Structure 1
Amino acid sequence: MKVFGGPLVTVTIPMYNNAKFIRQTIESVLSQTYTNFELLVYDDYSTDGSYEIVRSISDPRLKLFRNRQNLGPEGNWNNAVSNVQGTYVKLICGDDILYPQCLERQVDILERHASEGVALVCGQRTIIDAESKALIKQINLVDEGRHQAEDVIRKLIRMGTNILGEPVCGLYPASLLEKTRGYSAMVPYTIDLDFWMQLLKLGDLYMIADPLCAFRISEESWSSRIGELRYHQFLEFMELAASDRYFGVTDLDMFIGKINCAVHSMTSTVGFKLFA
């Protein structure tokens, strides 16, 4: 593992009005069993005291930046990965949580497999509420181990939901950033999945079956307010994925996926999160 010449991992948080949760999010990063990381927080001109809360936290690994104006999710997420020093990158929304061994487990996989074509390591997640109570203790939609991009995307389409997890779930090589177009809000609700799809055109997925993080559902989260728009934007994402011949998505995949997507939109509390 990298010891000299800077941190091996960059954890970056694009923050906007996360005063209620940001301290807990940051503490979950600073308490990792793996310690060779930097933590960058990019405040998107918050108005609720988020910036002041982070500024009050003293740790040499933490660096705080503030935009002079609100850039919105796409602008701030890309800003958050614009100056990473680590070999590997993890982006976290400002209310999610890492479990203590998250970085250690994911770094170990990438250190062993990055040179062999693994572009993304994801861990399963727990779904929590505003009080950090587990709503769903573990979501396992992809088996443990290595998976080729075509298989992953076709399964994602057929299931009509996010089988990879939100940004907090993933760790990826920083060297791949310049080979992508970055985080794109062309379909705002699936900004995370669009980026995962770009990475999977550059290598395989490795899934860790254990929950390594928590994704929060709360009144402050976009997923709790977006309603029916979730369904329509996921369908739009599916169409975009199917139009990319690289993944080999079939008409049958889309047919099954549209049915499942409709079911998920009516019954699931798990969605994608986007902060304006």
Structure 2
Amino acid sequence: MKRRGEPLVTVTIPMYNNERFIRQTIESILDQTYTNFELLIYDDNSTDGSYEIAASFKDPRLRVFKNERNLGPEGNWNRSINEVRGKYVKLVCGDDVLYPDCLEKQVAVFEKNPCSGISLVCSQRTIIDPEGKSLIKKINLVDKGRHKAVDITRKLIRMGTNILGEPACGLYPSSLLPYTHGYSARVPYTIDLEFWMQLLRLGDLYMIDESLCAFRISDESWSSRIGDMRYHQFIEFMEQTASEKMFEVTDLDMFIGKINCAVHSMTSTVGFKLFAGTAQEEGGFFS
């Protein structure tokens, strides 16, 4: 139960060498129209000026921590959700951006539907380049409204790509965290999507049909370093998900999904080679 005086929302940033983008990320959170939140930033022993930039902000809602040693993405992401005080949680990577009414609109879904069985509220997202220019104004792969976990999972498998969005797209109740095993990088490319699936084991998805955040593609992001493993790792994720009986994934779902996954992988590879001269962010346009 949320205690008096505690923030309703915890926004957390697991940060590593995000010197180029972290100021814009932090500002986008502090400038939210919804103000009852805390912002926790966990620097994973960055070797650039990320920590100093984050620590320079003087806002009572913000706290910055620095790991004594580098924990890696899995370790730092899990540390970032270990001490949340909010009723709801949002994790934002250190190069992404929230649009001003993101928290307001996502919190409203939960607060207007108490005890509704919704475990995850997501929004559509915009894809931006390193300079913040919009490359795709709106990724829209899931219809507006409430979706049963079985239905949305089978659609995800058939489409062979992440239709729910990156961490910044989602907001979820902190009360569900004890019923998850946190973020797992066993399949690195789908660390965020695997966590969404944990939440969908516990309730339904609600999709807001607006772009409320921006996912940045750059050669500095973790997913960009995964490169050509994208296809194989997404197939591994699909197979893991299909093995769970509650999601009712069929052989036909998997067959269609593997074809679409291959198409997405090839298309995104070509797209990013054209964008930057190298395959900077495999899967970024379609993930």
TM-score category (smaller protein): over 0.9
1:199 corresponds to 2:211:
no
Change (3 A) 1:36 1:110: same
How large is the Cα RMSD of the aligned pairs?
1.4
Cross-structure match for 1:50: 50
Name the residue aligned to 2:266: 266
Q: Which residue of 1 aligns with 2:7?
A: 7
SS of corresponding position for 1:137: strand
5+ residue gaps, structure 2, are 273-281
Moved more, 225-234 or 6-15: 225-234
Distance 1:114 1:200, change over 3 A: farther
The Cα of 1:5 is off from its aligned counterpart by: 2.5
The code of the aligned residue for 2:174 comes to A
1:175 aligns with 2:179: no
Could you tell me how far apart the structure 1 residues matched to 2:284 and 2:245 are? Answer: 25
**What residue number does 1:113 align with?**
113
Report how far residue 112 of structure 1 moved: 1.7
- The alpha-carbon deviation at position 272 of structure 1 amounts to 6.2
| Cα displacement string for residues 226-266 of structure 1 (whole angstroms, at most 9, x for unaligned residues) | 32200000000000000111100000000000000000001
Question: How many equivalent residue pairs?
Answer: 272
Q: What residue in structure 1 maps to residue 218 of structure 2?
A: 218
What is the match of residue 188 of structure 1? 188
Off by >4 Å, runs of 4+ in structure 1: none
Give the corresponding residue for 1:122: 122
**Residues 1:16 and 2:28 aligned together:** no
- Listed one character per residue, the Cα deviations across residues 87-132 of structure 1 (whole Å, up to 9, x for unaligned) are 0000000000000000000000011224110000000000000000
TM-score, scaled to structure 1: 0.96
SS in structure 1 at match of 2:220: coil
**In percent, how many aligned pairs have the same letter?**
73
User: Contact 1:183 / 1:195 at 8 angstroms: preserved in 2?
Assistant: yes
Q: Secondary structure at the match of 1:34?
A: coil
- Contact 2:120/2:200, CA 8 A, preserved across alignment: yes
User: 2:138 is paired with a residue of what secondary structure?
Assistant: coil
1:156-205 deviation digits (Å, cap 9, x = unpaired): 00000000000000000000000001111111110001000000000000
Separation of aligned partners in 1, 2:114 and 2:198 = 16
State the secondary structure of the residue aligned to 1:105: helix
Aligned to 2:252: 252
Distance 1:81 1:113 in 2: 24
Change (3 A) 1:114 1:71: farther
- The match for 1:72 is 72
**Contact kept in structure 2, 1:217 and 1:223, CA below 8 Å:** no
Corresponding residue number in structure 2 for 1:32: 32
Query: Tell me, what secondary structure is at the counterpart of 2:139?
Result: coil
2:38–2:61 CA contact under 8 A, matched in 1:
yes
Give the corresponding residue for 1:142.
Answer: 142
Task: Name the aligned partner's letter for residue 27 of structure 1.
Answer: E
Match of 2:276 in 1: none
Structure 1: tracts of 5 or more residues without a match? none
